[in-house]
């Protein structure tokens, strides 16, 4: 008998698609985008359209396994199958021993974007580690800097709804590869363009989005602060700003006026590589073609000055009053709109049971340092990895691997596949996919709460994240009932006691409706996030920020060159700026291992400019050594028009997937830096200098 089950893609993607799974005799036979969902609109990305190849891959991990070969060796031969009983006993024993000898903070949970579901990715795991008193993980690896920058101006992670892009007349994709990373925004942009809108892309890489745009401005990496200030220079200088909106809804405009005066187009051209005339034209068009919307994504903030860049860009729709109109404003993330009851979901107060105080916080972007720093007290003795592939995705891979290789570190990995990280695991535990478990999924690109039902039984002995931590809590002898809560009880917990936007959004209602739009405040039927003021304590956009000033940064925004950039202090020995980018058809390191997905990508290449190739006598297809002080990689030259002079690009992949003759196995993160960006926490994947030579 055939049955169609409503699920939701929980992968780390703003689109959070509604996925219909057809099941026959217990087997999923088809996945399809739900045509009725207002953002999914009946299609899936190329990655998830082939999802059954992932679910039923012969490579799926189906049983717990224990390491029987030295750390650093991978593949099934490095492990021997054990029972769940043995596995749980072993993990519980290790957790207890580390707690007794070094204190529970010697245990580090390490998770990120494998699943964004509230129950599986943010729920029972947190309860468990809080109860244990383990170190807390600062989950900074993706969006930390951008969040700080955005909040410093607007006070909330709210943004324009994707559906409202159809009303825009000017769309600025700023460090946003919409076509690759956020494909469900594209149909709305196409509709806007049919109505006369113009799409402009600001990106140092000629992305699919840039190829399809009306105008591509290849800005130099890490210079967006200057570009934003240059636009303000023109807007304010030509009196194009919205004085009324500013007077009502912003503070600090005088400081902006003074700061922007120091960024005339000629100066900004010298910094950004964008011609002065183009800066003037862009500023005028942006103001005159209202409603104007900026799709800012996370590309600009993976830079040493990324928080400041997001801060400066976030000022533009304030200064121009773009927030007044439907389809005007900006979207970085919509995640702050959901108003979930996270405290009830995650139970942070459980930390006091174990420690009598909150546990220490460790920044995930510094994993290599954390694992190798002999002064860290207590040291990390147990690393518990789930929904994450740190050996591949963390910056400064060589240091990360040095840490993971430690014999006195016990590493357990809960995974769907053997990955770069399991190459260093002492124990691997098999995880379900979203077809095999239930969850509640929100989004960082739209405004729908969705219920994802389990479509099929778990394969083999796979176990969901929530179930794993329930089982472990029992083995540890933790008797709090919240550690045995069912998935349904967790969903009720996170929905009830949330903010007003969740009123009426309950589990029974979601079982009927499958998804529900947040009860957003509407003006004439439209959601205008900041038309009537901002979410800061005083209700005004902060064009001068006390928090930035307190950190010794300019209270408005001031451009400074990333140390690792051609204009920075470390420019000498490694003259090329590397963009260590994501693939359009993989999702960070997910999908890299599947043959069908591999066919959609060109892997193991370094994209470079004709001029840089010529000065190094490099021809298209040559095998290259790409290197800096942190590491090296072998890649094939692809001399194309993707990047300008002085910039090269390579893609994130599995260590064994694409880089040629690189033994031991490494990926592009062997080259990236674990220097953190401005305002503290975020990684700097796009502030990287390298040199290239023929291998
Ligand atoms: N297909 C696919 N989709 C994905 C992902 C994936 O790996 N593959 N990853 C998901 C995740 S985790 C996230 S966070 C989102 C991220 O989505 P995006 O924010 O769109 O992600 P990025 O590709 O990191 O950055 C966007 C663009 O910024 C550009 N960029 C780099 N440096 C600069 C700069 O200094 N200035 C400017 N203006 N642009 C710059 C890059 O060339 C890139 O094209 O996408 C999600 N969706
Ligand atoms: N060079 C470079 N590095 C980057 C980036 C970049 O652009 N360039 N992007 C950065 C960004 S933005 C991000 S968000 C991070 C992402 O880093 P990660 O969060 O590590 O993301 P993935 O590489 O997708 O790995 C997720 C893993 O979780 C597993 N998984 C999926 N679902 C589940 C589940 O339900 N349970 C369990 N236990 N496991 C599951 C998948 O099999 C996969 O191996 O990478 C960062 N690293
Ligand atoms: S990865 Fe993104 S676009 Fe693809 S199905 Fe999942 S949510 Fe949709
Ligand atoms: Mo991310």
User: What is the rounded distance in angstroms from the CA atom of residue 122 to the CA atom of residue 120?
Assistant: 6
DSSP string of 572-621, one letter each residue: SS--EEEEEEPPSSSBTTBTTT-HHHHTTS--SEEEE-HHHHHHTT--TT
Report CA(136)–ligand 4 centroid distance (Å). Answer: 19
Query: What number does the ligand 3 atom closest to the CA of 587 have?
Result: 1
List pLDDT tens digits, range 278-294.
999 999 999 999 999 99
Average pLDDT over residues 536-543: 97
Average pLDDT over residues 457-479: 98
> What pLDDT sits at residue 572?
72
Closest C-alpha among 332, 422, 335 to residue 386:
422
> What pLDDT sits at residue 161?
98
Report CA(587)–ligand 1 centroid distance (Å). Answer: 11
Average pLDDT over residues 121-145: 97
Closest C-alpha among 84, 29, 11, 32 to residue 470:
84
List pLDDT tens digits, range 185-214.
999 999 999 999 999 999 999 999 999 999
Look at residue 317 and tell me whether its pLDDT is greater than 60. yes
Average pLDDT over residues 520-535: 96
3 state SS of 464: coil
Q: In the CATH hierarchy, which top-level class contains the domain 65-142+343-504?
A: alpha beta
Q: Contact at 8 Å (CB) between 455 and 5?
A: yes
Q: Is 588 in the pocket of ligand 1 (CB under 6 A)?
A: yes
> What pLDDT sits at residue 551?
86
Mean pLDDT for the chain?
Answer: 96
User: What is the rounded distance in angstroms from the CA atom of residue 50 to the CA atom of residue 241?
Assistant: 48
Ligand 1, atom 16: closest residue by C-alpha: 298
Report CA(311)–ligand 4 centroid distance (Å). Answer: 19
Ligand 1, atom 21: closest residue by C-alpha: 299
Is there a shared CATH topology between the 65-142+343-504 domain and the 145-332+542-550 domain? no
> What pLDDT sits at residue 570?
73
Label residue 656 by pLDDT band (50, 70, 90). confident
> What pLDDT sits at residue 679?
85
3 state SS of 648: strand
Residue ranges in 208-252 assigned as alpha helix (H): 208-212, 224-237, 243-249
Q: Is 60 in the pocket of ligand 3 (CB under 6 A)?
A: no
Tokens of 661: 């003759």
* Spans of all domains in the chain: 2-55, 65-142+343-504, 145-332+542-550, 576-694
Query: What number does the ligand 1 atom closest to the CA of 220 have?
Result: 35
List pLDDT tens digits, range 232-272.
999 999 999 999 999 999 999 999 999 999 999 999 999 99
Tokens of 99: 């707690």
Report CA(285)–ligand 3 centroid distance (Å). Answer: 32
Report CA(2)–ligand 1 centroid distance (Å). Answer: 39
Report CA(467)–ligand 4 centroid distance (Å). Answer: 25
Q: Contact at 8 Å (CB) between 556 and 259?
A: yes
Q: Is 11 exposed, middle or buried (0-12, 13-18, 19+ CB in 10 A)?
A: buried
Look at residue 82 and tell me whether its pLDDT is greater than 80. yes
User: What is the rounded distance in angstroms from the CA atom of residue 220 to the CA atom of residue 269?
Assistant: 10
List pLDDT tens digits, range 580-593.
999 999 999 999 99
Ligand 1, atom 24: closest residue by C-alpha: 299
User: What is the rounded distance in angstroms from the CA atom of residue 162 to the CA atom of residue 349?
Assistant: 36
CATH architecture group of domain 145-332+542-550: 3-Layer(aba) Sandwich (3.40)
CATH of 2-55, one of 3.10.580.10, 2.20.25.90, 3.40.50.300, 2.30.110.10: 2.20.25.90
List pLDDT tens digits, range 622-640.
999 999 999 999 999 999 9
Label residue 680 by pLDDT band (50, 70, 90). confident
Half-sphere exposure in the Cβ direction for 422 (13 Å, CA): 27
Label residue 569 by pLDDT band (50, 70, 90). confident
Tokens of 395: 């910056």
Lowest pLDDT segment from 83-92, 326-335, 663-672: 663-672
Label residue 663 by pLDDT band (50, 70, 90). low
Top mutation candidate among 10, 15, 42, 115 for ligand 3, by most atoms within 8 Å of CB: 15
Ligand 1, atom 30: closest residue by C-alpha: 299
Lowest pLDDT segment from 245-254, 344-353, 524-533, 659-668: 659-668
> What pLDDT sits at residue 658?
58
Closest C-alpha among 684, 648, 685, 604 to residue 204:
648
3 state SS of 214: coil
> What pLDDT sits at residue 166?
98
Q: Is 399 in the pocket of ligand 3 (CB under 6 A)?
A: no
Report CA(685)–ligand 1 centroid distance (Å). Answer: 11
Average pLDDT over residues 418-428: 97
Look at residue 662 and tell me whether its pLDDT is greater than 60. no
Average pLDDT over residues 312-327: 98
Please list the residues that pair with 500 across neighbouring strands: none
CA angle 323, 328, 329 (to 5 degrees): 55
Top mutation candidate among 182, 396, 404, 416 for ligand 2, by most atoms within 8 Å of CB: 416
Average pLDDT over residues 16-37: 98
Tokens of 581: 């980018």
Average pLDDT over residues 483-491: 98
b/e burial code for range 577-609 (CB count within 10 A of at least 16 → b): bbbbbbbbbbbbbbbbbbebbbeebebbbbbbb
> What pLDDT sits at residue 573?
85
Q: Is 203 in the pocket of ligand 1 (CB under 6 A)?
A: yes
Report CA(445)–ligand 2 centroid distance (Å). Answer: 18
Q: Is 202 in the pocket of ligand 1 (CB under 6 A)?
A: yes
Label residue 661 by pLDDT band (50, 70, 90). low
Q: Is 301 in the pocket of ligand 2 (CB under 6 A)?
A: no
Q: Contact at 8 Å (CB) between 649 and 594?
A: no
Average pLDDT over residues 650-658: 87
Sign of CA pseudo-dihedral 448, 453, 454, 455: negative
List pLDDT tens digits, range 330-364.
999 999 999 999 999 999 999 988 899 999 999 99
Average pLDDT over residues 646-674: 85
Question: What φ, ψ does residue 84 adopt, rounded to 5°?
Answer: -60, -35
User: What is the rounded distance in angstroms from the CA atom of residue 54 to the CA atom of residue 264?
Assistant: 52
Report CA(655)–ligand 3 centroid distance (Å). Answer: 24
Q: How many CB atoms lie within 10 A of CB 269?
A: 18
Q: Is 474 exposed, middle or buried (0-12, 13-18, 19+ CB in 10 A)?
A: middle
Closest C-alpha among 437, 442, 454, 440 to residue 491:
440
Q: Is 17 in the pocket of ligand 3 (CB under 6 A)?
A: yes
Top mutation candidate among 32, 33, 48 for ligand 3, by most atoms within 8 Å of CB: 48
Question: Nearest ligand, CA of residue 201?
Answer: 1
Closest C-alpha among 204, 209, 230, 208 to residue 219:
204
Q: Is 16 in the pocket of ligand 2 (CB under 6 A)?
A: no
Question: Nearest ligand, CA of residue 652?
Answer: 2
Closest C-alpha among 430, 337, 464 to residue 16:
337
* CATH tag, 576-694: 2.40.40.20
Report CA(651)–ligand 4 centroid distance (Å). Answer: 14
Closest C-alpha among 186, 196, 274 to residue 230:
274
> What pLDDT sits at residue 659?
54
User: What is the rounded distance in angstroms from the CA atom of residue 470 to the CA atom of residue 571?
Assistant: 51
């Amino acid at each position: 008998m055939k049955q169609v089950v409503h699920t939701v893609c929980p992968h780390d993607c703003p689109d959070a698609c509604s996925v219909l799974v057809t099941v026959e005799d217990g087997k999923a036979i088809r996945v399809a985008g739900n045509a009725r969902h207002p953002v999914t609109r009946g299609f899936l990305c190329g990655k998830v359209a082939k999802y059954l190849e992932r679910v039923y891959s012969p490579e799926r991990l189906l049983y717990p396994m224990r390491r029987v070969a030295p750390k650093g060796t991978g593949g099934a031969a490095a492990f021997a199958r054990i029972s769940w009983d043995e596995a749980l006993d072993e993990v519980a024993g290790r957790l207890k021993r580390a707690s007794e000898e070094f204190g529970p903070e010697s245990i580090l949970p390490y998770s990120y974007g494998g699943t964004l579901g509230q129950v599986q990715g943010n729920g029972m795991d947190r309860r468990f580690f809080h109860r244990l008193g383990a170190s807390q993980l600062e989950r900074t690896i993706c969006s930390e800097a951008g969040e700080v920058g955005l909040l410093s101006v607007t006070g909330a992670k709210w943004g324009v709804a994707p559906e409202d892009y159809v009303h825009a007349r000017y769309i600025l994709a700023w460090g946003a590869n919409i076509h690759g990373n956020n494909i469900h925004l594209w149909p709305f942009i196409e509709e806007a363009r049919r109505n006369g809108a113009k799409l402009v892309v600001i990106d140092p890489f000629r992305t699919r989005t840039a190829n399809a745009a009306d105008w591509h401005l290849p800005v130099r990496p890490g210079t967006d602060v200057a570009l934003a200030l240059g636009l303000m220079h023109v807007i304010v200088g030509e009196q194009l700003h919205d004085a009324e909106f500013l007077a009502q809804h912003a503070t600090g405009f005088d400081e902006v006026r003074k700061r922007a005066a120091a960024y005339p187009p000629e100066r900004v051209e010298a910094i950004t590589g964008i011609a002065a005339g183009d800066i003037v034209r862009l500023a005028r068009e942006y103001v005159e073609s209202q409603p104007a919307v900026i799709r800012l994504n996370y590309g600009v903030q993976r830079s040493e000055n990324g928080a400041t860049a997001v801060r400066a860009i976030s000022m533009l729709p304030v200064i121009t009053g773009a927030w007044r109109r439907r389809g005007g404003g900006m979207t970085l993330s919509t995640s702050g709109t959901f108003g979930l009851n996270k405290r009830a979901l995650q139970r942070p107060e459980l930390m006091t049971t174990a420690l009598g105080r909150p546990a220490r916080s460790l920044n995930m972007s510094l994993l290599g340092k954390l694992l190798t720093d002999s002064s860290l007290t207590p040291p990390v003795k147990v690393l518990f990895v789930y929904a994450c592939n740190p050996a591949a995705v963390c910056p400064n891979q060589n240091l990360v691997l040095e840490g993971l290789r430690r014999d006195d570190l016990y590493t357990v990995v809960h995974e769907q596949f053997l990955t770069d990280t399991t190459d260093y695991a002492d124990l691997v535990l098999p995880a379900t996919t979203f077809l095999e478990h239930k969850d509640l999924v929100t989004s960082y690109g739209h405004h729908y709460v969705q219920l994802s039902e389990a479509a099929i039984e778990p394969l083999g002995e796979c176990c969901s994240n929530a179930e794993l931590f329930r089982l472990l809590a029992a083995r540890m002898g933790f008797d709090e009932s919240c550690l045995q809560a069912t998935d349904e009880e967790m969903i009720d917990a996170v929905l009830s006691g949330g903010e007003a936007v969740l009123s009426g959004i309950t589990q029974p209602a979601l079982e009927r409706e499958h998804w529900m739009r947040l009860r957003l405040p509407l003006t004439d039927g439209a959601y205008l996030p900041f038309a009537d003021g901002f979410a800061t304590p005083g209700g005004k956009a902060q064009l001068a920020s006390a928090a930035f000033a307190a950190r010794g940064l300019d209270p408005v925004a001031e451009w400074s060159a990333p140390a690792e950039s051609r204009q920075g202090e470390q420019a000498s020995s490694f003259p090329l700026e590397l963009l260590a980018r994501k693939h359009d058809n993989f999702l960070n390191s997910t999908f890299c291992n599947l043959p069908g997905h591999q066919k959609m990508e060109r892997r193991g290449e370094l994209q470079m400019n004709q001029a840089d190739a010529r000065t190094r006598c490099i021809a298209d297809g040559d095998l290259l050594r790409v290197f800096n002080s942190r590491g090296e990689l072998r890649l094939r030259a692809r001399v194309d028009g993707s990047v300008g002079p002085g910039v090269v690009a390579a893609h994130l992949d599995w260590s064994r997937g694409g880089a040629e003759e690189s033994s031991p196995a490494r990926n592009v993160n062997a080259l990236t830096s674990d220097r953190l960006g401005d305002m503290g926490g975020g990684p700097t994947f796009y502030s990287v200098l390298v040199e290239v030579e023929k291998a």
